[in-house]
Amino acid sequence: MADIKTDILVIGAGSGGLTVASGAAQMGAEVVLLEANEMGGDCLNFGCVPSKALIASAEAAHGQAHAAPYGVANVAPAVDYAAAKDHVKNAIATIAPHDSQERFEGLGVKVIREYGQFISPTEVKAGDTVIRARRTVIATGSSPFVPPIPGLENVPYETNETLFDLREKPDHLLVIGGGPIGMEMAQAHLRLGSKVTLIQGGNALGKDDPEAAALVKDHLRDEGLEIIEGAHAAKVRGQAGAIEVEIDDGQVLKGSHLLVAVGRTPNIERLNLDAAGIKSTKAGIKVDAALKTSNSRVYAIGDVAGGLQFTHVANYHAGIVIRSAVLGLPAKAHASHLPWTTYTDPELAQVGLTEAQARKAHGTKLEVVRVEYDGNDRAIATRKTAGFIKVMVVRGRPVGATIVGAQAGELIHTWALALANNLKMKHISAMVAPYPTLGEINKRAAGAYFTPRLFESDWVKRIVRLVQRWLP
């Protein structure tokens, strides 16, 4: 049994863990990194990268079938599903060296390909090695939650961890779950030629602004996606190629393949948290504002910390921990400025408060400005006019923004910057956006906030008339 003493121990080589390990090592700290599975974690291997690669294949197919509005003849796309999955694998392989064991060892990180388990408040066992670290960072992420639906254990099904290995295109894909993963993969498979039925217990995209979510759902239904909301999967039966999902009203939905995408569960089972005095719930490890656990020498970041489950949130958490555990500086995490995007077509992006949340929090102090995509020249030129932006403003400062439409995930950056730096609407209005771009929508939204103050104010008009009299 080997013993190692180190400054920083990172458990988990997903996005957040890798960011801590690389940052700490390059700043001069001694770092040990534990990872028993794939380097790069869920994002690289089963999540963000493969899903966006498959969405790109689906978008290419959809473009061929809907080119007529641009003066190009529609053609039926000849989809090679296995080749689309090759594109997915290529994207993963291209990025993988950046997350590889070799790269991190080159940075000076000691990488051990084993699971980590606490054996005391200050010790972690990994295989035959015991590590004693000044500070430990738990970054073990999350896994697909598989609900206890009767019969599911006897039926072949996919999760995001297996879907991208599937080589044969589903004839009819049944999707249980109407969150971002379910909606993105439903539309992608629809565009690649599968029939798709999506089942959601409540409202699909239920965590987003209802008006924006409705626009996305209407668009997907127009493409042919069958979305059944307010329906719970009561039973599952069948076999490969012939699967049935019975919902709670007795209706039976039949398909060839089943994707279960009903949420995530934190990866804490192997950690033996009790031995370290670390408290947790079903949602994840309990942390304070500094991301410290109930064991003050141990941090938890990303999905396993039980908050927003996005790669960029894990990276943000990593930056907080580097300041605290590596540099010894005070640092606290906040969630009010963290954006997210659902990569359907149209995209749906959010940062800060939704309209409903802002009205509840700020009441009559809230102003909501809204701009439609169909007034943007670039949107008109590219026939991407479905969508809008809503900005929630209190005393001249944005407290939230909702964007639904083309490139919403890119457009939300402006408002994420504004919320992170406490900017005012005047700062967005002062920005000069190149013409013609979709980005002008953000500037126009800021302008819309000032329109009634400048153009509908009798006081402003009186001042202007007075100034005009005195000008030579």
Tell me, what's the pLDDT at 72?
Answer: 98
Tell me, what's the pLDDT at 458?
Answer: 75
Tell me, what's the pLDDT at 462?
Answer: 80
Tell me, what's the pLDDT at 427?
Answer: 97
Tell me, what's the pLDDT at 452?
Answer: 78
Tell me, what's the pLDDT at 451?
Answer: 80
Tell me, what's the pLDDT at 465?
Answer: 78
Tell me, what's the pLDDT at 454?
Answer: 66
Who's near 143: CB < 8 A, 6+ residues apart? 42, 161, 264, 265, 267
pTM of the model: 0.94
Residue 56, both tokens:
């790109």
Mean pLDDT by 10 residues, the chain (472 residues): 92 98 97 97 95 98 98 98 98 97 98 98 96 98 96 97 97 98 98 98 96 98 98 96 96 98 96 98 96 98 95 97 96 95 98 98 97 98 98 98 98 98 97 96 94 72 80 82
Tell me, what's the pLDDT at 464?
Answer: 74
**Can you list the domains of the chain with their CATH numbers?**
2-39+100-144+265-326 (3.50.50.60), 152-262 (3.50.50.60), 339-455 (3.30.390.30)
Tell me, what's the pLDDT at 467?
Answer: 81
